[in-house]
Structure 1
Amino acid sequence: MDPLVRLKDAHAKNKIPDDVYDLIVKRFPIAVSGINRIEKASGIRYPIAYVEPSLVVSSPDPNSYQYGILFARTIPVVFDEKFQVVIQISAPLIAYGLKGTIHAILAHEFLHFLELIRKISKMELLSDEISGNLFENVYSDETRLFEPRAVFKDRTLLNHITKKFPAGFRDFRLEDKVMKFWADRNLPKSNISLDANTVKLSAESLSKIKLAPAFISKIEQLEQKSTKIRKNRLY
């Protein structure tokens, strides 16, 4: 899969102007280096990733002024009875994010991927909790993920993650640039509801998902390390 295929299509249809397209293509290697870095630091292959040529925002209520920018999303896909996890990276992040920010967000989505695989291996995905409040979602997000220190052996990457995600990601500099150079130019925008980020798979679909035993074993080891780190932090 060409990770820039949707961006190229949007550019061909004149939805993305030349200057923005050229900027994203020029800076995309930053994301590639981040993925390579995460794979090296974790020993686990990164899921398929692609650039979404739009600004993705989420609001708990279509009539509400409260919204959050989703710079990346972890999306489970079942196609022809085959299960695949895809990481969606928003084009504005590639265009305007600092290298450390891009790598931190990619690493954060990687933790979502691991959590998703953990739940699938334990058949825990029949119904995920839904919260209509952005802050509540941030809290539940942080409490469910693997501990970064249990997953990554890269001190600089860990510093990026802890600085960018102390209690949910927020980068005012990046958000200001995105609003000025993307939103104010009326470039493509996608609105999704918060519950669109939850995962619901039937028991039949879960039973058909095949995971490599070695991968499941690796996930279990990371889960044990995460639990140990949390206990040490509490006591």
Structure 2
Amino acid sequence: MLDPLVRVKEAHIKRLISDDVYDLIVRRFTVIVEGIDRIEKASGIRYPTAYVEPSIMISSPNPNSYEFGILFARTIPLLFDDKFHVVIQISAPLVAYGLKGTIHAILAHEFLHFLELIRKISKMDLISDEITGNLFESVYADEMRLFEPKVVFKDRSLLNHITKRFPSGFRDHKLEDKVIKFWIEKNLPKINISLDTNVVKLSAESLSKITLDPIFLQKIEYLEHKSHNIHKKKLY
């Protein structure tokens, strides 16, 4: 089983992060574990593999723009040895500086991405996905696709965290300020990604090789149906 802190430990050995930062990440990783346990209990579904990336992920719409967004976590599909895996990549600064409610909300949000990914794969709907050109469009596309949280999670407090922190895309100015001050300005590891790298692209051949648990797919269909009904009610 993958050690979720293996990349952080490697970065520490290479002196890319200091002892203090390393100790803080390791100490606060319990908040991640609690969040994953909480989401599994609230949804009845196992959380996908997750690991901590010892970098901050910066997203910019184009190389010449001063506009950028901080990505605190990403849901990444992988094909390895003809087997399909979903990995949740959690940024170390989120672990180090995020409030418990914020961390749990982000973990839950990525879990919804995971469900959406499985839904799309089951319907062979991942060959071409929308590529959005700016952060606002990405947020909008994100919100339009996700499963309804209150259908997925039976945890009122967790739902409150999600609603509070994702009214229309995630923003937490205090967390962002901390990350800029304690991570970016100290030249700690950073990954620049373009928004279209966050778009899933799998070939039809790859999709055809993927096998999914039929019981899990039944649950996905049930959640999709209930979410669809709620979305319809919101429209009318």
Query: TM-score range, shorter-chain basis?
Result: over 0.9
Q: 1:43: which partner in 2?
A: 44
CA shift for structure 1 position 131:
1.1
RMSD: 0.6
Q: 1:24: which partner in 2?
A: 25
The one-letter code matched in structure 2 to 1:113 is: F
Q: 2:199: which partner in 1?
A: 198
Instruction: Please give the TM-score of this superposition, normalised by the length of structure 1.
Output: 0.99
How many corresponding residue pairs?
235
CA shift for structure 1 position 63:
1.4
CA shift for structure 1 position 197:
0.3
Q: 1:114: which partner in 2?
A: 115
Instruction: Please give the TM-score of this superposition, normalised by the length of structure 2.
Output: 0.99
- 1:38-81 CA-to-partner distances (Å, cap 9, x unmatched) read 00000000000000000101001011101110000000000111
SS in 2 for 1:182: helix
Q: 1:217: which partner in 2?
A: 218
Q: 2:7: which partner in 1?
A: 6
Q: 1:76: which partner in 2?
A: 77
CA distance in 1, matches of 2:233, 2:15: 54
CA shift for structure 1 position 114:
0.2
Q: 1:207: which partner in 2?
A: 208
Q: 1:169: which partner in 2?
A: 170
* Equivalent runs, 1:52-201 vs 2, <5 Å: 52-201=53-202
CA shift for structure 1 position 233:
2.4
> Gaps spanning 5+ residues in structure 1: where?
none
The one-letter code matched in structure 2 to 1:31 is: I
CA shift for structure 1 position 108:
0.1
CA distance in 2, matches of 1:134, 1:11: 32
CA distance in 1, matches of 2:154, 2:127: 32
CA distance in 1, matches of 2:142, 2:231: 15
CA distance in 1, matches of 2:111, 2:219: 14
Structure 1 moving runs of 4+ over 6 Å: none
CA distance in 2, matches of 1:216, 1:82: 17
SS in 1 for 2:185: helix
CA distance in 1, matches of 2:234, 2:153: 18
CA distance in 2, matches of 1:16, 1:40: 34
- 1:138-194 CA-to-partner distances (Å, cap 9, x unmatched) read 000000000001100000000000000000000000000001111111100000010
CA shift for structure 1 position 234:
2.7
CA shift for structure 1 position 229:
1.2
